[in-house]
A = this chain, B = another copy of it.
Amino acid sequence: MPFGSPAPVIYILEPYGGSARTQNPNLPHIFFDDSGITRGDGVFETLLVTDGHVANLERHAERFVRSAKKLDLPTPDVEQWKAASRQAAEDWTAACRGERIDGRLGWSYTRGRAKTGIPTAWLTIQEATVMDRATRVRGLRVLSASRGYTMATGADAAPWRTEAAKTLDYAENMAALRWARANNADDVILTDPGTGRVLEAATASIIAVRRGGKLRTPKPVGGVLQGTGQLAIFEEAEKHGWNCRAKDFNVDYLQRSESVWLVSSVRRAVRVAQLNGKKLPAPANATELAEMFDRALEK
């Protein structure tokens, strides 16, 4: 972190509602027997703090509750999470002393310590790695690769079905990102090994811009997480006359699109400039699109 960055803001929440207290970021707060660290048994959200407010708070709160439910965790008190997030964003903004520094707000909620059985709940705001809009329009080098497994459906699905939960289990996604970087790429688009269906990027949703004012995204099924940013963008774009929907498609479809974007809450929307070594030239409307996407993601 550059000299002079604000210190991370941490709040620890009482999991059944009640108070939130600040935590010194120079001190640890997770115990050895927390199921979050022993088993990855918990859920999380990553939100953008920009211009003094938390973006798309409602969508993240909804997914957070859904994730907790999928994991049979006690339902989090979202009003408490939202209030603590607003308080933390205020603290963050004050610490920035008039400078606009984007924050990455993380919500973490685990099954808690083996000793107590009470969930552990905390949120953090740290300085976001910023990529300016021009760089995002210029774009990323991306590779596609098999995700390595196929989710079963119907009677063959696992009866516990945690697949649509945003759990702490991201070791696989991190391995995918390392692989991309080792192969001279910035990110990776995951595909289903059986069908070649495009799923999602390692830590982002995918949006394809098609001729005739269409936005398309992979269907959020078969282990594809519903992206809060993608939802926000579709809602905004529909107001401006875009035709938006989820659809099954393969990598070839992306290569024949007007433009392809990877969407995540904090990095926002970034154009894919090269896919599997093939250039995807910036379309005339790239900056206009990026502005519309930013509006949706910063709301």
Contacts and interface: CB of A to CB of B under 8 A. Distances in A.
Nearest to A169: B169
A10 B147 CA distance: 37
Please indicate which of the listed interface residues A30, A37, A126, A151 has the most CB atoms of chain B within 10 Å of its own CB: A37
Contacts of A108: 37-38
A157 interface: yes
A276 to B, nearest CB: 13
A148 B171 contact: no
A25 interface: yes
A30 B122 CA distance: 13
Interface in A84-128: 106, 108, 110-111, 115, 122, 124, 126
A159 B171 contact: no
A165 B174 CA distance: 14
Nearest to A42: B171
A152 interface: yes
A204 to B, nearest CB: 15
A289 interface: no
Contacts of A44: 38
Given A149-B152, A151-B148, A156-B146, A170 B39 contact: yes
Interface of A: 1, 8, 10, 23, 25, 27-42, 44, 71-72, 106, 108, 110-111, 115, 122, 124, 126, 145-152, 156-163, 165, 167-176, 178-179, 193-194, 223
